[in-house]
Structure 1
Amino acid sequence: MRIGTTLAYAADPRGGADDVAAWEQDGLDVVWVSEAYGFDAPTVMGYLAARTSRVHIGSAILPIYSRTPALLAQTAAGLDAMSGGRAILGLGASGPQVIEGWHGVAYDRPLARTREVIDICRRVWRRETLTNDGLYRLPLPPGEGTGLGKPLKILTHPVRDRIPIHVASLGDRNVRMTAEIADGWLPFLYDPQRAGDVWGDALAAGLAKRPADLGPLEVVAGGPLAIGPDVTGLRDLARPLIALYVGGMGAKGRNFYHDLLCRYGYPAEADRIQDLYLAGRKAEAAAAVPAELLERTSLIGPESYVRDRVQEFRDAGVTVLNVAPLGDDPRRLVAAVADMAR
């Protein structure tokens, strides 16, 4: 099992790169760069490529609606060239609030778009002459443009003709598609004890259709990390983020994170968090996050406890343990959990 971490939306990218360069020496294997409606991820990822030599660099995530499939492929190929073959293209649909509110693009047919984007990216990296007759029309036919478009292939030669594609997904249909066609899966709020109950059937159905040449599905999951006898209170630091997603990342009846909490067995708590958050009572929403959920989605406690938690994630099928080190000595934490994972 490898070790990863994520640079948060609001993080100072230059300071974050300093941290990643140090953590690479301590055993960090993968760094993920968030985007949402903050800094764009590829700029930060390029800087990370220049500051590191071994760690793999992934987007978590680039929304499929904010860039054309060809540009997503070009971006990943450029990063792969700059990093010497260390790029991971993390994709996701995001949600209507960001896609329609920030990008001004209709949020429609996310599964079909994701499937088509993945197929086009892989054809670009193989340097195929690009044509497509689906949601993305390549080239645009007469009547939808000037009629002057021509089939093209990427000018440059990608370092790899198969850059790993990871997909962020939560719903059954999306998880099933991810297990079928993606190289990796990026779930959220992953509880290793309950993940099988929530996603097991969807994963099994997708894996049953998975082409053999894709290899095993990578699973990237974890949570906040702190090791020591008196650190359990640090779990509360995750409350505002969980409340933001469960309460504010989507409208009532259209919030994937709210639905996930319900599937984990917290329907009343999910409703309360959402109601409080949408009413502007964010602190109360954070306080309503179940303590059990905080415990089950983190790695915080004495060393023996954290070691057992690492094993739980491994036993659940997690291949990249993604951690957010808390406290004054993150390098020690990364080194310790890297040792546990190996």
Structure 2
Amino acid sequence: MLTSPIFLEQEVSTEDGLNRSMMRKIIHVDMDCFYAAVEVRENPQLQGKPVAVGGSPQSRGVVAACNYEARKFGVHSAMPMSRAFQQCPNLITTPVHMDLYKQISGEIHQIFQDYTDQIEPLSLDEAYLDVSESSHCGGSATLIAQQIRERIFDTQRLTASAGVAPNKFLAKVASDWNKPNGQKVITPDDVQEFVKALPVKAISGVGKVTAKRMSELNIETCEDLNKMGLDKLNQYFGSFGEQLYKYSQGIDTRPVQTHWVRKSLSVEDTFAQDLPDLESCLLELAKIYAELLVRLERAQKKQRLIPKALFVKLRFDDFETTTIQMVGNKPDKHAYMRLCADAWRRGQRPVRLIGLGLQFNPPDMPEQLRLI
């Protein structure tokens, strides 16, 4: 039985700072521990046990995903697998099966398309849906979200959580509210009271550095942000200040983007043994460069990509990371080698990770003519 209010489109006053975008009906669907849940589904003997997906601790692997049983021990994504085992000695690990995850994600997106063509994928395991014009379930976004979650479970035996709200910011916050296998609805009438008490750490984009600064300023909730005002938020948080001020009022006018524009592409490799010197780094760079070309060719089949810069990232054995870039309109192995040498000289230490990448111009920008 549904306990969430049915979210029907309704006229909303603009007197309290809201605009007509508050009439949108946005659903954020977020699969629960997607990679780990798939592995448990494929191997039922893992049910109820702490599971992490990722590389081996012996090869300096990291946790790509983990289930809730592992999270109870403090394990989380991006954590070195060796540390994950320290946190949870009984942790069970499985390798990443990306082709399987992509296949299942595609099947889930087919379900989304039965309700709307306004879909913005964020990753394999989450997406925004704009169902403002959908006639399914009597136009109720609440019932659509519930039905999507039920169909995902019936067809995939996987659970999903969902948030339903008038905009993307609130929908994403709501999807995390009743995890796992839950749903939360924020109606237009609920927005102002909801955001007042919303912790700032729930805002996407508020990382450790920003959160620490907010704590120093005694900012704990969105109400605190709102009271500080736009001018001070701009002063303390730069260009992020205006967005924070809008979020503090529950305002987010961003539409669901059905066409995604790639801004960059990169490939990186973490080595089982530290690379001791620059020469060994340059030898590994050749392999990474070849992989970058493969991925670039694959990406260019989907959209027009115009490079504007090349960059190299190095992570040293003490985990210090440095990035260096240069202007460039195409991949160039020798340019990457020069960048790598310059980056290495900043630390002159053994290297545990090398990354190569490209940044792209907007797709509507014409290519610069080259003189021959």
Query: Does the TM-score normalized on the shorter chain lie above 0.5?
Result: no
Q: Which has the higher helix share?
A: 1
* Structure of higher RCO (CA pairs closer than 8 Å, 6+ residues apart): 1
TM-score, with length taken from structure 1: 0.30
TM-score, with length taken from structure 2: 0.28
Rg comparison, structure with higher value: 2
